[in-house]
Amino acid sequence: MNLDIVILAAGKGTRMGSPLPKVLANLAGRPMLDHVLESVSQLKKIKLHVVVGHEAQMVRKTFSDNKKINWIKQTKQLGTGHAVKQALKHIRSNSNVVILYGDVPLISENTISKLTKLASKGPALLTFNKDNPTGYGRIIRSSRNKIEAIIEEKDASPSEKQITEVNSGIMAFKAKELSRLIGKIKKNNKAREFYLTDTVREAYLEKLNIQSLRLSDMDEVLGCNTPEDLQLLEKAYHLSTAKKFLNKGVSFADIEKVKFRGSVSIEKGAFIDENVIFEGSVSIEANAKIGPGCIISNSTIGKNAELLPYTFVEESKLENNTKAGPFAHVGIQTKLEAGAEIGNFVETKRSNIGANSKAKHLAYIGDGRIGKGVNIGAGTIFCNYDGVKKHITKIEDDAFIGSNSALVAPLTIGRKSYVGSGSVVTKNVGKGQLAIGRGRQKNMLNRKK
């Protein structure tokens, strides 16, 4: 079955109080519209249309990498029916059509698929029940429970306003039926707009078999008109994402205290503590443990690895059975090989730390190439920057670096060599050698004042 997706994204969003178009408002680290595009990307045989209006060029530029989008300009915003009408000439005649909204970002691929199947029988509506339905279009049903119409809040009578089944705005049609029904609607309402919902009344008059899919979880159709709405969406997004992982065997200390700001993968058996933030592209492998307050950005955490509290990992890879923290900063382009450990107040950048090597306390490792089984003592500094260029320090297997040492790059420290505590090392150290680079100690007699 061919499927045409029409996403309405032309609104200005005045109440958002932002110069950005509403669909570009940030939700969990991404524009709202991006969440909708992600959901539809999983569907097959689709043609994707996005109707834009306010700041159309800004919206198009934001998604310029997505070559599958057919951009459609709505010059005047005359209602949802008018917006869909702009897309009609681009829609395939033999397809089903689903109407989505750029400011309803949590709709799932599964729900879209179900609604699409219903549309093969007749116009299909996505509805839900709401205890306080103020502001929503009400679903009008006949005595036989057949849908007759959708009445918008502005046009509803007092009795109609008591109806709790409401319209989500998301609808699906056969393409030919949509084209015919859109042509019949008029703007004889208080807003003087062309309502897409009026197609339902026209479908009823044509005696079409109007379908409905009633959602049990209304978070999927939460819309956004104000900053407060955006906060509600943010909370709903993080909670629903955590629940998905919970149902796949991931453990959480508290699913309400984790943030997912990107594309996150977590394998079965992992444990996520409170106040953890995931940013960008993140992969957490099986049985990893992420301690409280950790931030992981564009990184991979391997099997059985452990991040102790308040550790920041960015653009790095921790292989299996590694450990970092507490209060560690695993900086950009760091790789910890299997069994490696960095401890409290250790910072790394552009460094490879070999299998079973350790830097447990108060060290800075910048542009390091560290072999296997190396020990980096407390207070050690890799002096990698000469004021103009960054230089590499290479430490070969099984070397031992004493505490409070300064390693001045470019430098190579050979296999099984030793650096005495408190040394400033400026020359290469050969295999098995002991390097001591510090001033001679002098003990003076006490002098009385």
Write out pLDDT tens, residues 53-80. 989 999 999 999 999 999 999 988 889 9
Write out pLDDT tens, residues 387-423. 999 999 999 999 999 999 999 999 999 999 999 999 9
CATH homologous superfamily for the domain 227-435: Hexapeptide repeat proteins (2.160.10.10)
Mean pLDDT over 262-282 rounds to: 97
Q: Is 265 helix (H, G, I), strand (E, B) or coil?
A: strand
Phi/psi of residue 272, nearest 5 degrees = -120, 120
Write out pLDDT tens, residues 192-249. 888 898 999 999 999 999 999 999 888 999 999 899 999 999 999 999 999 999 999 9
Q: Pick left, alpha or beta for residue 153 (phi over 0 → left; psi -120 to 50 → alpha; otherwise beta).
A: alpha
Q: Are 414 and 430 in contact (CB under 8 A)?
A: yes
Per-residue pLDDT at 76? 85
Cβ-proximal residues to 266 (8 Å cutoff; 6+ apart), any chain: 245, 248, 250, 272, 283, 284
**C-alpha span between 206 and 180 (Å, rounded):** 11
Per-residue pLDDT at 449? 53
The confidence band for 152, taking pLDDT boundaries of 50, 70 and 90, is: confident
Per-residue pLDDT at 77? 83
**Structure-token pair, residue 82:** 């008018």
Domain boundaries, the chain: 3-221, 227-435
Mean pLDDT over 252-267 rounds to: 96
Tokens 């509506």 found at: 125
361 noted as active-site residue: yes
Per-residue pLDDT at 368? 98
Write out pLDDT tens, residues 364-375. 999 999 999 999
Q: Is 240 helix (H, G, I), strand (E, B) or coil?
A: helix
Pick the CATH number of 3-221 from 3.90.550.10, 3.40.50.300, 3.30.530.20, 3.40.50.360: 3.90.550.10
**Side chain identity at residue 449, one-letter code:** K
Per-residue pLDDT at 448? 61
**Structure-token pair, residue 275:** 């106040």
Catalytic residue among 90, 329, 361, 391: 361
pTM exceeding 0.85? yes
Per-residue pLDDT at 316? 98
Share of the chain above pLDDT 90, in %: 85
**C-alpha span between 265 and 284 (Å, rounded):** 6
CB count within 10 Å of CB 48 equals 18
Mean pLDDT over 261-272 rounds to: 96
Residue 294 has pLDDT above 90, yes or no: yes
Per-residue pLDDT at 296? 98
